[in-house]
Amino acid sequence: MATATFTPTLSTSAPPDVTDTYVHYFGTLAISSATDTYATGGLVCSFAGVKLDSSATPTDVRVWDETAGIGLTYQYIKGSNLTNGKLVIRGQYPDSGIGAGRFPLPEVANALALNDATLAIDTAATAGKLKFEAIFRKGK
């Protein structure tokens, strides 16, 4: 059991899209191991092993889950290069101990195993249903 990481794989059925200024890459995210754990601040998601035409950091990465069963949100935090961006995972708070009012969405707890039954974070990635769209500027 170690700190988990995500590895992107480009889709073979959804090729990159090219617009005036950007290239949009589509694919799926795999996890290092279902028993690996979450780390506060997000899990490293390296695009280094992906065959991209650009070596720059992405302008934006959107991640979504296409399974019906799990309701979590995914936020990509850009790094300084292709190898050290991070994926932050959030859920909601139950009301216990929180009190009245509104509050931001809480991050998954540090050291929680991805296959912990509480959140079953591994489900979508294991099923190949954790998808991404990574947007890179042309010529960078």
Partner 1 sequence: MATGTFTATVSATRGPDVTDRYFHYYGDLAVSAAGDTYTTGGAVCTIAGKKLIGRGVPTKVEIWDEKAAAQCAYQFVVGSNLTNGKIVIRGQQPTATPGKSGSVAFAEFGSGVAFNAANMGVSAATLKFKATFRK
Binding site for partner 1 (CB under 8 A): 13-19, 24, 26, 38, 64-73, 90-97, 105-109, 112, 116, 118-120, 131, 133
- Residue 113 Cβ, how far from partner 1 at the closest point, in Å? 9
- Residue 23 Cβ, how far from partner 1 at the closest point, in Å? 9
- Residue 81 Cβ, how far from partner 1 at the closest point, in Å? 27
Q: Which is nearer to partner 1, 64 or 83 (CB)?
A: 64
Q: Which is nearer to partner 1, 17 or 60 (CB)?
A: 17
Exposure string for 76-95, b = 16+ CB within 10 A, e = fewer: beebeebeebbbbbebeeee
CA gap 68, 59 in Å, rounded: 28
- Residue 18 Cβ, how far from partner 1 at the closest point, in Å? 4
Q: Which is nearer to partner 1, 94 or 139 (CB)?
A: 94
DSSP secondary structure letters along 7-19: EEEE-SSS--EE-
CA gap 23, 8 in Å, rounded: 16
β-pairing verdict for 6-10 and 43-44: unpaired
Q: Which is nearer to partner 1, 33 or 62 (CB)?
A: 62
The HSE-up count of residue 58 (CA atoms within 13 Å, CB side) is 25
